[in-house]
Structure 1
Amino acid sequence: MLEILYQDEWLVAVNKPAGWLVHRSWLDRHEKVFVMQTVRDQIGQHVFTVHRLDRPTSGVLLMGLSSEVGRLLSQQFEQHQVQKTYHAVLRGWLESSGTLDYPLMEERDKIADKFASETRIAQPALTDYQALAKVEMPVPVGRYPTSRYSLVELSPKTGRKHQLRRHMSHLRHPMIGDSTHGDLKQNRGAAQHFGANRLMLHASSLSLTHPVTGESLLIRAGLDSVWQNLMNQFGWQDLIPDVPRVEFVPEPSQDNRSE
């Protein structure tokens, strides 16, 4: 059973577990468990994807309950009208906050994009980032006698493939558990000493306009046991508060709006 964060007659949001594929893919023919099929069976009706989360990423995943609502939600994502907030654990101490404006080359899959043109152009990519906390643990990983980690809040303003992982790697603070753009030695150390055996990236919340009612909808997803365990070990347990899953705020009436 998946944790349903919000459901009405038009849409449903779940807390996607790390390691789950959103939908069936011929690239992963041997997989048996998928979010879409599980949600469909759980609520007894078809669902329509409107955005994606990478397989190793956990957090808020939104789906429409009709093709029309799915189309309207997809438009909000495509037009960058949805505010997405992530949390991540990075290697080292990230001291600053700001907006990273660093174009990214298109990443292609070796199989799915086998016959694609070799011509690739760097695409604009923007990420807001805020350092929330840092810690130094008395555990040697690599050539240093201690290990340093940072907790950050991330908000992508564009939607490039693996944007958040690649941007943090560009800052020389790769995400813990990132097997593609990260530090494999640090990944093994974090898994061995702190139980961080997954990509430490969590889609914490989505803020959007309800496609039918027009109300403001904020959906939050709680942390899984791996995240909670790490937060407790690092003394960060109060930094991502246990807030209500959903805030559903009606728009002010026309008469009360400022001119």
Structure 2
Amino acid sequence: MKLIESHIVPSIEKPIRIQEYAVGIFTTISTKSAIKKALKKGLIKVNDGVVTTAKYIVGGETISLFEIEQITTQKKLKLKLEVIFEDDYLAIVYKPAGILVSGNKFKTISNALIQNLKKSIKIDAVKPQPVHRLDYPTTGLLLIGKTSSSILKLNKLFENKEIQKVYHAITIGDMKSSGSVDFTIDKKESFSYYKVLNTVPSERFKCLNLVKLTPKTGRKHQLRKHLSAIGNPILGDKLYGKDGFILNGKGLYLHAYSLEFEHPFTKEKMYFHKDNPKNFDKIFT
């Protein structure tokens, strides 16, 4: 077998299964399922020894990937992304509407990152990967990890709710000036807070509101479901909008406006925002 890539594990806080740790550390295979297949075929070794999916990584090991015919380098996606911030640990990019963050399709933000970001010089550098999701029609800021330790730490920040996300949306109908929603999603607790920033009259919708949204949990389609539940769906939402009030052909008016967190390595206070898309401005001018 021919050695393709190797990776030296940095110091980590607690042991983690290799099938979890190895996701993203190799450029030729990046998914959990591909890692598991390679492990079962003996193509991934730790300190030159063949291991199983049950192997725990503790720090300091050398993980090697060997060549197999089925494993091929992915085609490179040519898609220009706006990079808001970048260092050797992480990056923040702007996600346009109408593109998936990741998944089985070729045209995704994940597949475009390697062409838009600089390769990290850190010893545990990996193929850059998003550490959270934005819906297909949603625009805004997306946080990216560039090293295996950074991805682990950023995921921990999200788990501990230490990353503050703010969204802007345009909603339909009369609303209170501010409030909270605790409508459960998939039988799980979920919390969102909103504040109306501006309101304009609308002949078709009675009124439209520019709303600041702060989710405290991260359920699938949480903000869209919460606003629909209180009778103020997001403009352009075909899944959760009211019958007869769907705006066709204009997209979803939901924008990931800002991110705020402490850098997991430099400990610097990080704050970034991206102004609302032009279609927002056309309504609130």
Q: Give TM class, smaller chain.
A: 0.7 to 0.9
Q: Which residue of 2 aligns with 1:2?
A: 81
1:76–1:82 CA contact under 8 A, matched in 2: yes
Q: Which residue of 2 aligns with 1:38?
A: 112
Q: Which residue of 2 aligns with 1:152?
A: 211
Q: Deviations over 1:40-83 (max 9, x none)?
A: 11225420221111111110100011111011001111111111
Q: Which residue of 2 aligns with 1:12?
A: 91
For 1:24, what is the secondary structure of its paired residue? coil
User: What is the letter of the counterpart of residue 42 of structure 1?
Assistant: N
Q: Which residue of 2 aligns with 1:112?
A: none
User: What is the letter of the counterpart of residue 217 of structure 1?
Assistant: M
- Structure 2: how far apart are the matches of 1:227 and 1:3? 19
Please list, as runs of the form range in 1=range in 2, the aligned pairs for 1:1-259 lying within 5 A after superposition.
1-25=80-104, 31-45=105-119, 46-104=127-185, 106=186, 122-137=187-202, 139=203, 141=204, 147-188=206-247, 191=248, 197-231=250-284, 235=285
- Structure 1: how far apart are the matches of 2:107 and 2:129? 17
For 2:155, what is the secondary structure of its paired residue? helix
2:262–2:269 CA contact under 8 A, matched in 1: yes
User: What is the letter of the counterpart of residue 4 of structure 1?
Assistant: V
Aligned length: 199
For 1:39, what is the secondary structure of its paired residue? helix
- Structure 1: how far apart are the matches of 2:274 and 2:243? 28
User: What is the letter of the counterpart of residue 230 of structure 1?
Assistant: I
User: What is the letter of the counterpart of residue 66 of structure 1?
Assistant: T
Q: Deviations over 1:95-115 (max 9, x none)?
A: 2312222222x2xxxxxxxxx
User: What is the deviation of 1:37?
Assistant: 1.6
- Structure 2: how far apart are the matches of 1:36 and 1:54? 14
Runs of 4+ in 1 over 6 A off after TM superposition: none
The structure with the larger Rg is 2
User: What is the deviation of 1:228?
Assistant: 2.9
- Structure 1: how far apart are the matches of 2:211 and 2:227? 10
- Structure 2: how far apart are the matches of 1:35 and 1:150? 30
Larger relative contact order (C-alpha < 8 A, sep ≥ 6)? 1
- TM superposition score normalised by structure 1: 0.72
Q: CA RMSD in A?
A: 1.6
For 1:183, what is the secondary structure of its paired residue? coil
Indicate the structure with greater helix content.
1
For 1:74, what is the secondary structure of its paired residue? helix
| Structure 1: gaps spanning 5 or more residues | 26-30, 107-121, 236-259
Q: Deviations over 1:113-142 (max 9, x none)?
A: xxxxxxxxx2111111111111113x3x3x
User: What is the letter of the counterpart of residue 169 of structure 1?
Assistant: S
Range with greater deviation from structure 2 (218-227 or 169-178) = 218-227
- Structure 1: how far apart are the matches of 2:223 and 2:111? 27
